[in-house]
Copies of this chain bind each other. A is one copy, B any other.
C-alpha cells in the first residue's frame, strides 16, 4: 500500500520556507527527528504524528555532535532509499524528508579556530575534532548527567543541540520521540519547557520485535548469537516488573536480578538503574512511578532498553 512520495529537502533555508508556507495555510506541522536506517519503531512515531498534525516532516541526519571520536559514527548504518520506501509504506506517508548534508558547516570556512572548548566536561564530540567552528551547545545540566550520560558524557549535549537546530529549521508544532531512548525523551521535554519552544513533545511507546527485543538501528550489528543473548535485557526487565507487582520494592534486589540475568546471558552491563520517571534520580525503594533503565553490551554493540513501572 505505497502512498505518496515525500518531498526531499536538503537545504535548511528551503526547509524553513516549506514549514512557513504550511503554517501560513494554518496547517499543524509534526517533526519526527531520526538518524535514518528506519525500523518499525520510527514508523510508529509517524503513525502517531498523523494523529496530531496535518503535515509530517521526518528528518534523517546522523548527528556527529552526539558521537565522541571513539564511538561508532563511522559505522552507523544508513540506507536512504530503503528509508524512503519504508516511509511510503506508512498509511498517509510523510510530506517531507529533511536530509541535510552537514548541519555544522556554516559556509564561512573555519571561523572558530581549533573548535570549541570542552565546556568543562573533559571530552569532545566529533564536531570539535572537525574544526568547523561550531561552539554553541544546549545543556540540560541535571538530566544529561546520569544513566547514558555517565559513559557518554557529550551525548545529550549533542542531542539537545541538534534537536534545537532542527526545531529552529523546521519550526514544528509537535515533535515525536521514542521512549526507548527514555532519557533523551526527558531531556528534550525539559529543554522545550526551559527554553520556551512553542512545540509539544510527544513520547511514544517502545516498539519490540516479536521476541521482545527493543527495535534499534544498531540491532543490525548483532550476530545471531549476540541477538539471542540480548533478549535477556527485556526478559529480565519483565521479571523485575513482575517482582515489583509481587511486592518487591527494594531496588537493590531488583537491580541484582537484572544484572545477574544479563551477565549470565553473556552481556556486559553499562548500567541498570531504577529512577524517577521525571527527574531520573535514583530510587532506593519503589513508592511511585519509576522507570528501570538498562544499557548493556553484547559483543561490540551497546543496546539500551527500559520499562516503566507505575506502582
Q: Interface residues, chain A, CB within 8 Å of chain B?
A: 12, 16, 20, 23-24, 103, 106, 111-113, 116-121, 134-143, 145, 160-161, 164-165, 168-169, 171, 190-191, 193-198, 278-279, 281
| Residue contact B106 to A193, C-beta cutoff 8 Å | yes
In the complex with contacts A111-B278, A135-B143, A137-B139, A103-B196 CB distance below 8 A? yes
Copies in the complex: 2
Question: Secondary structure at chain A's binding surface: helix, strand, loop or mixed?
Answer: loop
- Cα–Cα distance between A252 and B279 once the two chains are bound (Å): 51
Partner of A168, one of B116, B145, B196: B196
| Residue contact A194 to B139, C-beta cutoff 8 Å | no
Give every chain B residue within 8 A of A134 (Cβ-Cβ): 194
Top 3 closest pairs, chain A to chain B, by CB? A120-B120, A136-B194, A116-B141
- Cα–Cα distance between A195 and B158 once the two chains are bound (Å): 12
| Residue contact A112 to B165, C-beta cutoff 8 Å | no
| Residue contact B24 to A136, C-beta cutoff 8 Å | no
Residue of B whose beta carbon sits closest to that of A169: B196
In the complex with contacts A196-B103, A278-B111, A141-B119 CB distance below 8 A? yes
| Residue contact B168 to A141, C-beta cutoff 8 Å | no
Give every chain B residue within 8 A of A138 (Cβ-Cβ): 136-139, 195
In the complex with contacts A120-B119, A120-B121, A198-B168 CB distance below 8 A? yes
